[in-house]
Structure 1
Amino acid sequence: MASITMNNLVKKYDDGFPAVNDVSIDVADGEFLILVGPSGCGKSTLLRMVVGLEDITSGDLLIDGERVNEKEPRQRNLSMVFQNYALYPFLTVYENIAFPLRLAKGKFSEKEIDEKVRHASELLDLDDHLERKPGNLSGGQRQRVAMGRAIVRDAEAFLFDEPLSNLDAKLRGQMRTEIAQLQRRLGITSLYVTHDQTEAMTLGDRVAVLKKGRLQQIASPRELYEQPVNLFVAGFIGAPSMNFLPARRDGDIFHTPIGDIPVPEHAKGKLDQAGELLVLGIRPEHFADAKDVQDTPWAARGTTFEAELTHTEWLGNQQYGYVRYEQDQDVKAKLDELAKDLDADEMPAQVVVELDAASRIRGGSTTSLWVNTQKMHVFDPESGTNLTRDEEAGAELTREANEERKAEIKRLHDQNL
C-alpha cells in the first residue's frame, strides 16, 4: 500500500488547453478516493497522469513520498482496472488473472502463480469460472476478472477508470458493493473515476469534485452533501438536484417566486457583504406537506407557503411534486451557465419537493407546503460561493468519516488474521 500525493498538477495539450489545472490532492494510505464530475472535467486525464499514461506538464506526483513524474507506468507499481475490462479473449479466466505474473519473466514460480491466482479467485468468487473464456462470462464476472488481475500484482494502489459504466443498473449496484467490500478487506489505496454520483457517494471515503480541470471541493460524501462549497458542487451532488431559487433580501425577509421566506438564524450575520440579489439552495427532502408537520416539534424550524403543483411522481416509497415559478431574469444567465456545467441545457424554473408516499396531493392542486429553512443554503449569484457554509461542521463530518474508515480497515484486518 502507498499514499499518493498530487502537488499542483497541470496537463496542457499542444493547443494550450489545460485539461487538468493546478490540482492538489493527498490520498492517504488505504484510502478510497473518488474523482467525479461531468464529461470533460479532467477526471480520467488526472487518473492517467497518476498511472503514467499521460505526461505531466507541471507539478509533482509522489507515490509513498517518492517523485515519479518521469517513471514509466510499469515502474510505478499501480494496477489499472479499465472500463472495457481489457481482457484477452483467447485466454481462460485463470490465464487472464495470471498474465501480469507471467509477464514478469521468471520472477514467480508456477506454484507462486497458482497460489496468487487462486487467492484472487476466492476473493472474487471466480473459482467456478477459472477455465472459461471471457466471452462466456457476464459483464459483472468480466469486471471481477479484471480486478483479479490487479490483485495478483500486489500493486501499491488500484486505479479504476469508470469500471461499471458498461453494466446495467442492477449489476452496477451489485458490483459497487463488491468493490467496496474488497477494497476494505485489502485495505489498498484506491483512486476511482466516475461520472455517476451514486457510485461516488456510496463508494468513497472522500470525493473530489472536478469542473473544467479544476478541483472544486474534496471531502467526505456527507460533507459534500450537507456543506457544499459552491453552486456547482451543490447542484452536482444529490438526486434530485438541489433547488435553486432566486431571492431578493429585504432586511430579515427573502422575497422569492414561491413567497416570502424569513432569513434563518444561521444565515444572519453572514450576508452583510452580500448584495440584494441572492440564490437560495434547498434540497427536495427539506420540503413537506404542511399537514404532515403541523403540531410537530420541528414545525418551528421552517415556514409554510401556498403553491400549485404541476404534477407529481409516485415511486412507491416516496413521492415528488413539481412547482413551476417565473424565473428572475437577473439570475437566469448564471443558472443557465451552471446547467451547462452540469451537462444540462438549462436550469428549469421549478421546485422539486419530496412528499410522503401516502400524501394525496396531486398535480393541478394548490396546497400548503412547509420548508425547513434551517437546512437552507444561500449562494452569491456572481461567484457561486456558498455564503452560509459552516466550514467547521463540514470538516467534522469528514474527520468522522476518516475515523470510521480506519476503524473498519482495522476490524477487517483483525478478522483475516
Structure 2
Amino acid sequence: MASIEMRNIVKKYGDGFPAVNDVSLDIADGEFMILVGPSGCGKSTLLRMIVGLEDITSGDMVIGGTRVNDKAPRDRNLSMVFQNYALYPHLSVYENIAFPLRLQNTPDDEVRRRVTEAADVLELHEHLERKPANLSGGQRQRVAMGRAIVRSADAFLFDEPLSNLDAKLRGQMRTEIARLQRRLGITTVYVTHDQTEAMTLGDRVCVLRKGLIQQVASPRELYEQPVNLFVAGFIGSPPMNFLPATVSGGGLDTPFGRIELDERRAKAVEGKDLLLVGIRPEYFEDASLVDEAKRPLGSVFTARVDVTEWLGDSQYAYIPYDAPEEVNLKLKELSRELDSDQLRTQAIVSIDATSRIREGRDAQFWLDSRKVHVFDPETGENLTRDADAGAELTRMATEDRVEQVEQARHSAN
C-alpha cells in the first residue's frame, strides 16, 4: 500500500495544449480518491500519468515516497482496471487472473493460492475454467478486478470501469467495488464522468475542469458547499437551479419573489449587483404540506407549473422564469461545458409524491432559504460558501476512512 503525491503536474501535447495544468493532489495511503469531470477535463490523462502510460511534461509524481517520473509502468507496482476489460480471449478466467503472476515467475502453489483468494472475494469460483466470451459484462469486469487484486500492488487504478455496463449492472458493480476497496484497504484512484459513481464510491472527490482542479472534498462537502458555479452545476441530479437575483436590503429579489438572507450571507453579497442564486431541487416543498412551525424559516412564493413528473416515491415540477440575457448566456455556456441540457431558465422543484400540484396551474411553494447559495456570475465564485462547515464535513469523512482502513488491515492480518 502507498500514498500518491502529485506536485505541480503538467501535461502538454505537441501543440502546446495543457491537458493537465499544474495539478497538485495528495492521496493518502488507503484512500479511495475519485477523479471526475466532463469529457476532456484531463482525468484519464492524469490517471495514465500515475501509472506511467503518459509522460509528464513537468512536475513530480511520488508514489510511496519515491519519485517515479522516470520509472516504467511495470516498475511502479500499480494495478489498473480498464474500461474495456482487456482480457485475453484465448485464456481461461483462471489464467487471465493469474497472468501477472506468471510474468513474475511466481511458483504454481502461490499462484493457485492468490487466484483462489481473489475468486473467493469476487465470487468467480464456478467460472474459473470458462473463457471471457462466455461471461457477462459484469463477470468480465470482475475478472479484470481479480487480475488487479492478485498482484499485491501498492494501489488500484480504475479508468471508467463501469461505462460499458447497463444501468442495473453498474449499480451492482459499484457496490462490489466499494466493498472490495473497504475490505482490502488499498489506495484507489477511480476515474469517472458519472457523478453517481463519484458521490457513492469516493472518500474524497477531485473535480477537474479543463485540466485544472476546481475542488477536492468529501462527496457531502461538494454537494452542500460547492466552491463555484461549475462544481455546483456538475454535482447533483437533477442539477442545482440558478436564478438571477439582485441585492435588496438584507435579502435577494428573484423571479420567484424575495429571499431573506441570514447575517453571514447578507454581508457576503453586500454591494453586489446582478447575482445567481443556487437552489437544490429538494430545497423546495409544496407549501401546503409544510409544517407551520417550519414555514417562518423559509420563503413562500406562487408560480405557474409548466410540467410535472411523478416518479412514485417523489415528483418534480418544472417552473419557467424570465432572466436577463447575460444570465441566459451564462447558463448556456455552463451547460455546454457540463455536457448538460438541463441548465436553462426553468427551476426544477422536488416535491412530495403526495402533493396535488398539477401542471398548467399556479401553486404555492416553500423554499428553505437557509440553504441557498449565491454566486458571482462573472467569476463563478460561491460568495456564501461556509468554508469551515465544508472542512468539518471532509474531516469527518477522513476520520471514517482511516478507521475503515485500519479495520481492514487488522482483519487481513
- TM class, shorter-chain normalised? over 0.9
Q: Aligned partners of 1:192 and 1:294: how far apart in 2?
A: 42
Please point out which of 116, 129, 132 is paired with 1:131.
Answer: 129
Residue of structure 2 equivalent to 1:263 = 261
Residue of structure 2 equivalent to 1:380 = 376
Residue pair 1:89, 1:133 contacting (<8 A) in 2 also: yes
Q: CA deviation at 1:327?
A: 1.8
Q: What does the per-residue CA deviation read over 1:339-390, in whole Å, with 9 as the maximum and x for residues that have no partner?
A: 1111135731100111100111110110110000000000011000000011
Within 5 Å, give how 1:88-237 maps onto structure 2.
88-104=88-104, 106=105, 108-237=106-235
Q: CA deviation at 1:338?
A: 1.2
Within 5 Å, give how 1:5-404 maps onto structure 2.
5-104=5-104, 106=105, 108-272=106-270, 274-295=271-292, 297-344=293-340, 347-404=343-400
Residue 70 of structure 1 aligns to a residue whose secondary structure is coil
Change (3 A) 1:346 1:179: closer
Q: Aligned partners of 1:257 and 1:175: how far apart in 2?
A: 43
Q: What does the per-residue CA deviation read over 1:184-237, in whole Å, with 9 as the maximum and x for residues that have no partner?
A: 110000000000000000000000000111000000000000000000000000
| Consecutive unaligned residues in structure 1, runs of 5 or more | none
Residue 268 of structure 1 aligns to a residue whose secondary structure is helix
Residue pair 1:335, 1:346 contacting (<8 A) in 2 also: no
**Aligned-pair Cα RMSD in Å:** 1.2
Q: Aligned partners of 1:180 and 1:15: how far apart in 2?
A: 39
Residue pair 2:247, 2:269 contacting (<8 A) in 1 also: no
Residue 224 of structure 1 aligns to a residue whose secondary structure is helix
Q: CA deviation at 1:248?
A: 1.0
Q: CA deviation at 1:263?
A: 2.8
Structure 2 residue identity aligned to 1:292:
L
Q: Aligned partners of 2:267 and 2:347: how far apart in 1?
A: 27
Structure 2 residue identity aligned to 1:342:
L
Q: CA deviation at 1:252?
A: 2.0
Residue 322 of structure 2 aligns to a residue whose secondary structure is coil
Q: CA deviation at 1:292?
A: 1.1
Q: CA deviation at 1:264?
A: 3.4
Residue pair 1:340, 1:346 contacting (<8 A) in 2 also: no
Q: CA deviation at 1:337?
A: 1.5
Q: Aligned partners of 1:403 and 1:374: how far apart in 2?
A: 28
| Consecutive unaligned residues in structure 2, runs of 5 or more | none
Q: Which range moved further: 344-353 or 60-69?
A: 344-353
Q: Aligned partners of 2:288 and 2:64: how far apart in 1?
A: 57
Q: CA deviation at 1:305?
A: 0.3
Q: What does the per-residue CA deviation read over 1:108-161, in whole Å, with 9 as the maximum and x for residues that have no partner?
A: 111111111111111111011000000000111100000000011111000000
Residue 153 of structure 2 aligns to a residue whose secondary structure is coil
Q: CA deviation at 1:270?
A: 1.2
Count of residues paired in the alignment: 413
Residue pair 2:207, 2:216 contacting (<8 A) in 1 also: yes
Q: What does the per-residue CA deviation read over 1:243-298, in whole Å, with 9 as the maximum and x for residues that have no partner?
A: 000101122231211222223334121123x5211100000000001111141x32
Q: CA deviation at 1:103?
A: 1.1
Residue 267 of structure 2 aligns to a residue whose secondary structure is coil
Residue 198 of structure 1 aligns to a residue whose secondary structure is helix
Residue pair 2:258, 2:299 contacting (<8 A) in 1 also: no
